[in-house]
Amino acid sequence: MSMNVAYKGPADCPVVIPVFPLPGALLLPRGQMPLNIFEPRYLAMVDDALRTDRVIGMIQPDSESGETPLSPRLFRVGCAGRVTQFAETGDGRYLISLTGIARFRVEEELSTPTGYRRCKVSFAPFESDFHARAGEDAVDRAGVLKALRDFVDANDLKVDWAGIEEAPNEALVNALCMMSPFGPREKQAMLEAPDLKTRAEVLIAVTEMELVRGSGSEPTLQ
């Protein structure tokens, strides 16, 4: 497969992909995720991805659902990204950046001789992910910005308001979800939201609940 392949729909995506289980890590379509890779099995995963289609699936372990022979058990929905930046450090680490392509549903985890995990996946349930800025007009942008301002004020944070005001709704909602300090369950709810409008609503609801729970205490950023 060409290194310059364009993923325009589910049919363009590989059926079997390596997956990188990482709690609290949320990748969304067209989002950018930097990763510091140092474990030998994941160095091998990146090597193999660079030799083929450059696709790696980000997925969260589901720690509450028990163990499997390929433990820990994984959530059923993740997001595939393409390696768009790569650098090797002097101490053998890889610094890579993934650009989100689309979400996928795990159909089957495969037995594999590699140290990393591989899954047969389907992108078909997430056809809309391949269309940039789909559903932007339905987003409650004012509600998103109010929740963000309340969170920033409660935790004495600094943000680039000029950049936020200029960001289109998709970029704004997805970036805030990816950078949010919430736990794996909340991140998974954002990931599995059926559309951008619902994802924004989940983000607002989770932020408001965190503010109520926090009662002025500063949450720990993940």
- pLDDT at position 2: 36
The series of mean pLDDT values per 10 residues for the chain, 222 residues long, is: 66 96 96 97 97 97 68 93 97 97 97 91 97 96 96 92 95 96 96 98 96 63 37
Residue 51, classified by CB atoms within 10 Å of its CB into exposed (0-12), middle (13-18) or buried (19+), is: exposed
Cβ–Cβ < 8 Å for 33, 175: no
Matching residue, tokens 């680039």:
160
pLDDT at site 114 = 84
Q: Which two tokens mark 20?
A: 């990188």
User: What sign for the dihedral angle of Cα 22, 24, 28, 33?
Assistant: negative
**What domains lie within the chain, and their CATH numbers?**
10-130 (2.30.130.40), 136-215 (no CATH)
d(CA 213, CA 138) in angstroms, rounded, equals 29
31 φ/ψ angles, rounded to the nearest 5 degrees: -80, 160
